[in-house]
Amino acid sequence: CLYVPQKEYIETVYVGQQAGTPILQVHAMQDNKSEKPHFYLCRTKTTTPSHYSSWFYMNINTGTLFLNKTLEESDFAQLYQRSPSVRKLFLYTMVRSEFTDKPLCLIRKPVPIILDFVNATLPQCAQTDTKELCFPHRDTSNPHIMENRFPGALRQLQRLSRLNVCPNYTISYSVESDPPGPFAVNDNKELVVNAQLDREENECYRLLLVCNVQSETTIIKVETTLNVFVDDEDDNAPYVNGTDSADIVISYNRTKGGTFGTLYVFDRDITPVSGNNHNKYLGTWLNTDPWIKETFDIKNSFTEKKAKGIRETVHNYQLVLKRNLHVTENRTLQLDYLVNDTIYPGLEGTVLLHFNVTILPVQIHFPNVTHIFTVSRRASAYAQVGKICVENCQQFDGFSVIYRLEVPDKNMSADSQACYTAISITQSPNRKWGHLYVNDSEALCKPECQDLQYLVVAQEGKEQLEASTQIHIKIDGTAIRAGQKSQQVLSCAENRQRADCESTRGLGATTGRCQWRQGTEKGITENYSTCSPDLQTCPDSVCDAVESKDPSICPQDCTKEPVIGGHERGLSGNGIKACYGTCYCFTERCFCEKDDIEQTLCDEMCK
Amino acid sequence: LCSVRELEVKVNELGLKYKSEETVLLRYCSGKCDKHRENYDMVMKHMMTVGFREKGRKDKVSIQPCCRPTAFEHFTVLDTTVNPSRYLNIHNVSAKNCGCV
Amino acid sequence: LCSVRELEVKVNELGLKYKSEETVLLRYCSGKCDKHRENYDMVMKHMMTVGFREKGRKDKVSIQPCCRPTAFEHFTVLDTTVNPSRYLNIHNVSAKNCGCV
Amino acid sequence: MITLAFSVCSPKRIIKPGPGAQPEWVNCIEASEMCNQDPQCSSWYRVMRQCLVGKEKDAMLDNNRECQAALEVLLVSPLYNCRCKRSLKTEQQCLQIYWSINMGRNEERDCNPCLDAAKACNLNGSCKRQRASYINICSKADFKPGETCSRKRCHKALKAFIDRVPSEFTHRLLFCPCQTTGCAERRRQTIVPDCSYKDKEKPNCLELRKVCHQDPLCRSRLADYKENCGMTPHAASTCPNQDNHQACLASFARLVGTDVTPNYVDSSFSNWTISPWCTCKGSGNQEEECQNFLRYFTNNACLSKPSQLMNSLKCHKHAMWNFLLQPRKSSKSCELQSYATLMVSCQIPVFSVIELFSEITVAVMFFKCGCWRHD
């Protein structure tokens, strides 16, 4: 329908200007040849009509705004604004293709006309700057023309309100367009567009408007720039550039929310993120199988891209799992998804996408290897023995596996059975791995407890699929002497010097004794000095399944307590990633501190 | 570690020159407080060794919490060495409990 | 007398090896506390010189209240020496107020 | 635009006399003799020498009134502009005089106004507490595991900081002029952008504006910002309300903590850009309107002017910067007004730089909204 190409009109009026003086020209662009524009000054529902609106009237057919009365100083004084020299008048205009006697502004935003009412008379020719004759003073609004529409005038270049200020001047206009465009100036000195425009060809024309002011003696040339924007309409159908089908294999990763395969649909039109339903896309499954609808969904998003400087839209479509798939699920399906550009008027506004999906069942089985682990007879409780998991466990997502230890020979003697309390197994937080650790260090010390054979059973939660494998635990080394056995098992981390550390029986110590790590760097460093039950796993910035069983096993990785001294916490806010000097911990807090002895020692060596 | 220690003493062994021969259970605070240090204490240690000198300061500061009574208790005893004998109330003389402060 | 003292220092001068170049107002406690002594302190002084030896005790005890922070404050500063830069929150590092405890 | 050649901070300041031109500078020994002949200059020179003795010279020059007054006077005496000629017998003596005056000179490498701003805040009880409060809420640095930053709480704390702490501290943290990336990174980090500003995706700016308009506080602060910083093309000045930069900076600061929180987009110090976290992609036919909205932030002369002015002053930590920002008790107290008006209205007794400044004609910087670049 008819529209006004400019977002606002700005002009200046002066005391003393006579009734009938033309102020400015409003234009309307046609949607189709038959439309005849009717121009109105309109009143918005929310605002009461201003008392000054009667000072102006608009020619219903031409869209020219005239003064309805001569402007007096008293008129200026009546306005409730403080400024002594210039006061603002606000009017609204609209254009309709049919006549109305109730000029109420249409729901869509009316076009504001902002007039600066100057408390002075119109400057004479001698006081008028040539630029003022040629172009409005503060014209900020760039015209927007809808693509694919009819030619027509879109802007009055000459200032109607200055027509008679310099009667013996002749003013003419010319226009140049970059890039070249169908623009010209007609006899009424209006900027016209002579052909329909195509936004997909060019979105914005930078016009150079040249105004030639000729007097008897001189020709003055005044230039200004104007940008004419081409608005988009949904005149392009969606298309696929490349493939419209994606082959998807779902195996280990079968978790709710998992996304698979991406297909792209292109559209040369632009897509606003909100507002009118311009270029609205909808999608529908063509498959009727309810299982598909309960299991799969499509995740759609679009991004704006530029091709040769022109904006266009790329829609991405991904298959999404609406629920976890059982490990036993085993299907092959072709999913058809119809994408529809609902606003595109033509017939080809749809594109069909195909997702060829193969769902493989997951086998729960252990790799065909003999699992041998070694543990020292002197190992203390919570000493880590090793990790085990079923094949491809690293890639599992959407289902979990629980591990347990079983004694293979149920009828063995009570004494032998007692040995099997030595080792236990726990799940890693993501339930992929089984962590073997020393559960009863006393059992390890018994000479009768030689090598142990366990059965590790892995069970998938929902389907109760099970797999098992035999593991062999070699117990090596000699048991600790009776005297040492009475030695209390402490937290290695409490020790702040090598000698104390290596003489302590520490919780989780694989050799029974704590291990000292000597840091060498200065400042707050990840390679800090500390006493650990097992330098392979602690500190490693991971509070693993065994370490999290007791805060004093590896506070370096797991502590939630305050840390005193220069330090940096671990990623999740637990443990100590970096520390200045030596890191040592008690139940209520940890310390990062340069050790005095080392400090003096270091001062000598480190100069 | 900082804790309450107990010692049986006679009142006249307290060093306050009260003459009562009664025996009381003196409780006092002793032991280490380094486990209760804060960043403040570490900074003070550094300032005492290096920082204050660089800034031309001579202040003395404590570089760790001290093991002190967090509540006191009194002794009430009879002094029969005077005539007539009288009861003595010795205030805040023994530690009810201790803490690193 | 035990009171709060103030000193402008850069964070990297605190001795904790944090590298931020920000300057902060370090407040610490210094000064004497002998005016706040109790009977307990007098007894401890006596016991340290005579009493404990007579009783075969080797405990170390404080013989007067110590000038310590009674509340701490933190420093929150930006360290731009690392990339990306990050904010550091150094807890209980400066004395909000001091007291003889 | 006159590029101000005078910059206290960087050694490039020394103007090399052209061929045959009278050297603009005086030898430092002659300059000190000239100063000693002037009673006022010689007494302040004596005070200055005492200020430079001992370890606490930085603190003395920063906070001691006497030392600051001495430096002000000597900055406009011949001593300030003196130089030394190499390999003269008197070079050693000359250089001692030169370095005693130009204490600040060799520190311009670590001249970091944003670090000074942080220091000023840390040394002020209220500013320090409020700053610590919003930083702890906004940064995940605190070690409460599992707790990620809550943007809503962060914005609330930032608003409290801006509203409660005097602008002489907050503006200095937000608008400190930088000559190094480290300084610019510190300035960018002031509002803890990872929580208060950035997000996974950039919304469309018109959408962001719509969300802001639905919140009365945000709407009024955005309108206030447009009112005080909205430079209209063809305007003679760079700021509305008679070049009132201070009003613009204040309204910008009040936007921090709203849905349209603006920030420096990176840590570049030469041509930095300020923008809300949004894009004009997805504007459809309102791309021009969107770009106009974005330009209020990204190409705003009223906003960038103060920093350019302060950039040309650079920072001489012993004189100009501190002097300007701390209300002078002795003479007419000058709160931090807009940098431009401050330059003119403050009765700073003798300061050649000020005259230079007031003559600066602010070029009329305006431009028509261009078609967005076809990049």
Tokens 């003119």 locate to: D344
Contact D288 A137 (CB under 8 A): no
What is the nearest CA distance from A437 to chain D, expressed in angstroms? 27
The residues with which B68 forms a beta bridge, in sequence order, are B99
What tokens does A490 get? 């402490």
Interface-testing mutation among C13, C80, C85, with chain D (most D C-beta atoms within 10 A): C80
Interface-testing mutation among C23, C29, C43, with chain B (most B C-beta atoms within 10 A): C43
Tokens 């040249």 locate to: A210
Query: Which residues in chain C are closer than 8 Å to B40, comparing Cβ atoms?
Result: 28, 69, 72, 92-95
Integer-rounded Cα radius of gyration of chain B: 20
What is the arithmetic mean of pLDDT over A251-264?
Answer: 94
ipTM of the complex: 0.87
Residue of A225, A274, A573 with shortest CB distance to D145: A573
Within its chain, how far is the Cα of B58 from the centroid? 26
Chains that contact D by 3+ CB pairs under 8 Å? A, B, C
Is residue D127 pLDDT above 60, yes or no? yes
What is the nearest CA distance from B10 to chain C, expressed in angstroms? 11
Q: Where in chain D is the domain with CATH 1.10.220.110?
A: 113-310
Tokens 């206290």 locate to: D8
What is the nearest CA distance from C80 to chain B, expressed in angstroms? 22
> What is the 3-state composition of chain A as percent helix, strand, coil, each rounded to the nearest 5?
10, 40, 50
The answer to whether D312 and D6 are in contact (CB under 8 A) is yes
- Comparing alpha-carbon positions, the chain A residue that sits nearest to D373 is A309
Q: Report in angstroms the alpha-carbon separations of A54 from A19, A42, A71.
A: 12, 11, 12
In tens, the pLDDT along D286-321 reads 999 999 999 999 998 888 765 554 554 444 443 333
What confidence tier does A445 reach under pLDDT thresholds 50, 70, 90? confident
- Comparing alpha-carbon positions, the chain D residue that sits nearest to A147 is D285
The predicted pLDDT at position A596 comes to 67
- Comparing alpha-carbon positions, the chain B residue that sits nearest to A565 is B39
In tens, the pLDDT along A84-139 reads 788 889 999 999 888 887 777 766 668 999 999 999 999 999 888 888 889 876 66
The correct answer on CATH 1.10.220.110 for the domain covering D113-310 is: yes
Partner B contacted by A588 (CB < 8 A) = yes
Residue A140 φ/ψ region, left for φ over 0, alpha for ψ in the -120 to 50 degree band, beta for the rest = alpha
Residue B23 CA to residue D348 CA, distance in Å, equals: 79
Residue D277 CA to residue D194 CA, distance in Å, equals: 11
Integer-rounded Cα radius of gyration of chain A: 42
Dump the DSSP string for A255-317. -TT-EEEEEEEEESS---SSSS-TT-EEEEE----HHHHHHEEEEEEEEEEEETTEEEEEEEE
The predicted pLDDT at position A129 comes to 87
H or E stretch including D343? Answer: helix D339-345
Interface-testing mutation among D55, D60, D143, with chain B (most B C-beta atoms within 10 A): D55
What is the nearest CA distance from C30 to chain D, expressed in angstroms? 20
* Residues found in chain D: 375
What tokens does D155 get? 């914005």
Q: Which of A57-71, A525-539, A583-597, C45-59 has the lowest mean pLDDT?
A: A583-597
Residue A579 CA to residue B77 CA, distance in Å, equals: 55
> D144 versus A383: which is more confidently predicted?
A383
The answer to whether A527 and A519 are in contact (CB under 8 A) is yes
Contact B38 C14 (CB under 8 A): no
The residues with which B85 forms a beta bridge, in sequence order, are none
Burial A515-554 (b: 16+ CB within 10 A, else e): bbbebeeeebbeebbbbbbbeebbbbbbbbbbbbbebbbb
The predicted pLDDT at position B76 comes to 93
Q: Report in angstroms the alpha-carbon separations of D200 from A23, A139, D197, D203, D207.
A: 50, 39, 10, 10, 16
- Comparing alpha-carbon positions, the chain D residue that sits nearest to A228 is D371
What is the nearest CA distance from D348 to chain A, expressed in angstroms? 34
C82 burial type by CB count under 10 A (0-12 exposed, 13-18 middle, 19+ buried): exposed
Q: Which of A30-34, A374-378, B95-99 has the lowest mean pLDDT?
A: A30-34
pLDDT tens across the length of chain B (101 residues): 999 999 999 998 999 988 888 999 999 999 999 999 999 999 999 999 999 999 999 999 999 999 999 999 999 999 888 888 888 899 999 999 999 99
The predicted pLDDT at position B83 comes to 84
Cβ pairs bridging B and D (under 8 Å):
6
Partner D contacted by C94 (CB < 8 A) = no
What is the arithmetic mean of pLDDT over D62-80?
Answer: 65
Query: Which residues in chain D are closer than 8 Å to B56, comparing Cβ atoms?
Result: 54-56
Partner D contacted by B58 (CB < 8 A) = no
The predicted pLDDT at position D237 comes to 66
The predicted pLDDT at position A132 comes to 86
Contact A580 C17 (CB under 8 A): yes
The answer to whether D314 and D38 are in contact (CB under 8 A) is no
Interface-testing mutation among A142, A224, A576, with chain D (most D C-beta atoms within 10 A): A142
Query: Which residues in chain B are closer than 8 Å to C28, comparing Cβ atoms?
Result: 40, 43-44, 47, 59, 61
Residue A431 φ/ψ region, left for φ over 0, alpha for ψ in the -120 to 50 degree band, beta for the rest = left
Query: Which residues in chain D are closer than 8 Å to B54, comparing Cβ atoms?
Result: 55
Residue of A564, A586, A588 with shortest CB distance to B39: A564
Interface-testing mutation among D56, D124, D128, D322, with chain C (most C C-beta atoms within 10 A): D128
Q: Among candidates A493, A490, A537, which has minimal Cα distance to A516?
A: A493
Partner B contacted by A593 (CB < 8 A) = yes
- pLDDT over 70 for what percent of chain A? 94
Residue D33 CA to residue A223 CA, distance in Å, equals: 61
Residue of C24, C85, C86 with shortest CB distance to D122: C24
Q: What is the pTM for the complete model shown?
A: 0.81
> What is the 3-state composition of chain C as percent helix, strand, coil, each rounded to the nearest 5?
20, 45, 35
Within its chain, how far is the Cα of A535 from the centroid? 41
Dump the DSSP string for A555-595. HHHH--S-EESSEEE-TTS-SEEEEESEEEE-SS-EEEE--
Q: Mapping DSSP to helix (H, G, I), strand (E, B) and coil, where does residue A211 land?
A: strand
H or E stretch including A120? Answer: strand A111-121
- Give the range with max mean pLDDT: A404-418, D253-267, D308-322: D253-267
D-facing residues of C in 14-33 (CB < 8 A) are 21-25
State the greatest distance between any 2 C-alpha atoms of chain B, in Å, as a whole number: 64
Contact C76 D135 (CB under 8 A): yes
Residue A350 CA to residue A284 CA, distance in Å, equals: 11
Query: Which residues in chain D are closer than 8 Å to A7, comparing Cβ atoms?
Result: 289
- Comparing alpha-carbon positions, the chain B residue that sits nearest to D54 is B56
Q: Report in angstroms the alpha-carbon separations of A57 from A42, A66, A97, D101.
A: 11, 6, 19, 73
Supply the angle between the helices D113-122 and D125-138 in degrees, to the nearest 10.
Answer: 110
The predicted pLDDT at position D11 comes to 35
Residue C71 CA to residue A320 CA, distance in Å, equals: 55
The predicted pLDDT at position D294 comes to 95
The answer to whether A3 and A29 are in contact (CB under 8 A) is yes
β-bridge pairing D262-264 and C86-100: unpaired
The predicted pLDDT at position D306 comes to 59
Partner C contacted by B9 (CB < 8 A) = yes
Q: Which residues contact A126 (CB under 8 A, 6 or more apart)?
A: none
The answer to whether B78 and B23 are in contact (CB under 8 A) is no
Residue of D282, D369, D370 with shortest CB distance to A272: D282
Determine if the peptide bond prior to A180 is cis (ω within 30°): no
Is residue A555 pLDDT above 80, yes or no? yes
What is the nearest CA distance from D374 to chain A, expressed in angstroms? 5
> A452 versus D74: which is more confidently predicted?
A452
Partner D contacted by C92 (CB < 8 A) = no
In tens, the pLDDT along D79-119 reads 766 777 766 677 777 777 776 666 544 444 457 999 999 99
Residue of D115, D185, D192 with shortest CB distance to C22: D115
Partner B contacted by C61 (CB < 8 A) = yes
What is the nearest CA distance from B39 to chain A, expressed in angstroms? 5
> D360 versus A429: which is more confidently predicted?
A429
The answer to whether A15 and A120 are in contact (CB under 8 A) is yes
A464 burial type by CB count under 10 A (0-12 exposed, 13-18 middle, 19+ buried): exposed
What is the nearest CA distance from A564 to chain B, expressed in angstroms? 5
> B86 versus C99: which is more confidently predicted?
C99
Residue A575 CA to residue A567 CA, distance in Å, equals: 10
Is residue D335 pLDDT above 60, yes or no? no
Contact C17 A522 (CB under 8 A): yes
The answer to whether D82 and D31 are in contact (CB under 8 A) is yes
**What's chain A's average pLDDT?**
90
The predicted pLDDT at position D27 comes to 82
